[in-house]
Amino acid sequence: MGIDRRTFLHGSALAVAGLAMSATSAAADTDWARLRRRLGSRLVLPRDSGYDTLRLPFNTVYAHRRPAAIARCVRPEDVQACLGFASHHRIPVAARSGRHSYAAYSVPENGLVVDVSALNDVRFHGTDVRVGSGTRLGDLYETIGAHGRAVPGGTCKSVGIGGLTLGGGIGVIARKYGLTCDNLLSARIVTPDGCLRTVSAHSEPDLFWALRGGGGGNFGIVTSFTFRSVPAPDITRFLLLYPEGATADVVDAWQEWFAGAPDELWGICETLSGTPTSTAVGGTYLGPAKDLHPLLDRMPAATKREVQEMSYLEAMRFYAGGDETGVPFVASSRMAYDHVPGARVDELLRGGSRYRIQFDSFGGALGRVAPDATAFPHRRARASAQCYVNVVDGRTEAQGRAILASLRDGLGTGTTGYVNYIDPEMPDWAHAYYGGNLPRLRKVARRYDPDRVLAFAQGL
């Protein structure tokens, strides 16, 4: 993910651990033949060919995970059968859409993976678009872009719409049109009682509220989403490269710049570890280059300014990146509600190798939604700050996590974080991800999953 291209449960932990241990023996004793009679070869067990490839998460730090079975669902009824089976046998179960969970929560050890990636139909109904929950972002953009339409989403083509939407969905047109979840009109979801429900502002509104930012893996398994689409905007992409050592000044200037920026402007400020540290600023403007240049002039002079007009689809292809099969990393985030001193960022990154902090601009339309209007609480943040450490070059996961903790906690930005950058070691994770929305979210989770069929380490 280079700077020049995409620069850019209600119980105790002990209760969860106990559940996982009893589930291990439950999975071994499970009569998988029953589910196999229903799914045929679409139920993949460890002895089946393809298992070792199919089980892999995107984050290869978790490549050792061995689920008891992977169910390749092609219709909502398959999902119903899987949830009923997992509930009956008391085995861990998780939905998997694009498999990009930072902590690989979509691949439960000794559990059942309910893979919905074949539920990937994208269909317009007027200007609303129904999207199968397993659709990858790249495929979504190709289809809706061809219709001259857009839905706000993220920037990597292999990320699934499932996890992205349920956690919020930050992307290049979010300051103009909101988060992905802000554009959700309804969803079809199989709840742990086996019901396939259609939820919207008018039907089961509490569950609909919870699906918009309450995090993947909670409440049920979504089979499709219906989004409002907007006319695809013309985009000007930009990249500003700065000399080494300019990090502190650029980080300070970037935050000030966005405090007064129009909704049409979105950007990231990526800061890389090193001696000295380095920084680049990139982003998009929804309008022509001639209107962007005066805005760019307000930033410190860059050694290189790259500006390119393109269609929405071209821009989404640009940000989509290549076909990455998997990457080993540990990552976390904080929400920046106040100015983060650039000098502090520079100090955190100085002297290290292959880690970074990436600020992503908030504000605009996404910031004008009330923090309790959807489950996504961080509406008043000025930016998200993602901390990312590559686990490469002999670095162990434990070493990576130590660096990560120093970045995350060294930022001094309080105790909040983005659930889609889920960090298994996030202190006080439930409050960090959900803030004031936590009590209502837990109530919804208890109502729809009273037996905690969907329990996982950071589940509601």
Ligand X SMILES: Cc1cc2nc3c(=O)[nH]c(=O)nc-3n(C[C@H](O)[C@H](O)[C@H](O)COP(=O)(O)OP(=O)(O)OC[C@H]3O[C@@H](n4cnc5c(N)ncnc54)[C@H](O)[C@@H]3O)c2cc1C
Nearer to ligand X, 246 or 384 (CB): 384
Establish if 160 lies at the interface with ligand X (CB under 6 A).
Answer: yes
- Residue 72 Cβ, how far from ligand X at the closest point, in Å? 13
Binding mask 193-222 for ligand X (x = CB under 6 A): -----------------------xx---xx
Element housing 278 (H / E): strand 278-285
Q: Which stretch binds ligand X (CB under 6 A): 162-170, 299-307, 367-375, 399-407?
A: 162-170
Q: Which of 159, 250, 345, 403 binds ligand X (CB under 6 A)?
A: 159
Among positions 155, 186, 247, 279, the unique one binding ligand X when judged by CB under 6 A = 155
- Taking CB under 6 A as the criterion, which residues in 94-123 touch ligand X? 94-102, 105-106, 116
Give a three-class secondary structure readout of 227-274.
EECEECCCEEEEEEECCCCCHHHHHHHHHHHHHCCCCCEEEEEEEECE
- Residue 169 makes contact with ligand X by CB under 6 A: yes
- CB of 53: closest distance to ligand X in angstroms? 16
Give the nearest distance from C-beta 103 to ligand X in angstroms: 8
Whose Cβ is closer to ligand X: residue 83's or residue 232's?
A: 83
Q: Which of 76, 132, 145, 162 binds ligand X (CB under 6 A)?
A: 162
Residue 417 near ligand X by CB under 6 A: no
The 8-class DSSP code of residue 27 comes to: H
Q: Which of 152, 163, 213, 435 is the binder for ligand X (CB under 6 A)? A: 163
Per CB under 6 A, does 455 bind ligand X?
A: no
Output 221 or 281, the one with its CB closest to ligand X.
221
Give the one residue of 420, 423, 434, 438 binding ligand X; rule: CB under 6 A.
420
Residue 230: strand pairing partners: 150
Helix (H, G, I), strand (E, B) or coil at 96: strand
Q: How many CB atoms lie within 10 A of CB 331?
A: 23
- DSSP class of residue 89 equals H
Q: How near is the Cβ of 115 to ligand X at its closest, in Å?
A: 8
Report the phi/psi class of residue 4: left, alpha or beta, with left for phi > 0 and alpha for psi in -120 to 50.
Answer: alpha
**CB 199 to ligand X: min, Å:** 12
Beta strands in 55-179 (DSSP E): 69-72, 93-96, 112-115, 122-125, 128-132, 149-150
Q: Exposed (0-12), middle (13-18) or buried (19+): which is 31, by Cβ within 10 Å?
A: exposed
Give the span between the Cα atoms of 372 and 231, in whole angstroms.
Answer: 28
Buried b (16+ CB within 10 A) or exposed e, 157-194: bbbbbbbbbbbbbbbbbbbbbbbbbbbbebbbbbbbbe
Q: Given candidates 80, 110, 133, 186, which one binds ligand X under the rule CB under 6 A?
A: 133
Please state the closest distance from residue 400 (CB atom) to ligand X, in A.
15
Q: Measure the CA dihedral 41/44/50/55, to 10°.
A: 150
Question: 183 or 253, CB closer to ligand X?
Answer: 183
CB of 99 to ligand X, least distance (A): 5
Window 220-259: contact mask with ligand X (x via CB under 6 A): -xx-------------------------------------
Amino acid at 348: L
- What are 155's two structure tokens? 């920037």
**Closer CB to ligand X, 102 or 266, in the complex:** 102
8 Å CB contact between 254 and 295: no
- Taking CB under 6 A as the binding criterion, the range among 14-22, 42-50, 160-168, 251-259 that sits at the site for ligand X is 160-168
How many CA atoms lie within 13 Å of 440's alpha carbon, on the beta-carbon side? 21
- Cα separation, 386 vs 329, in Å, equals 13
How near is the Cβ of 154 to ligand X at its closest, in Å? Answer: 3
- CB of residue 339 to ligand X, shortest distance in Å: 23
Instruction: For 7-132, list the strands marked E by DSSP.
Output: 43-44, 69-72, 93-96, 112-115, 122-125, 128-132
Contact flags string 28-67 toward ligand X, x per CB under 6 A = ------------------------------x---------
The number of C-alpha atoms within 13 Å of 364 and in the hemisphere containing its C-beta is: 25
Return residues touching ligand X (CB under 6 A).
58, 94-102, 105-106, 116, 133, 154-156, 159-160, 162-164, 166-171, 216-217, 221-222, 420
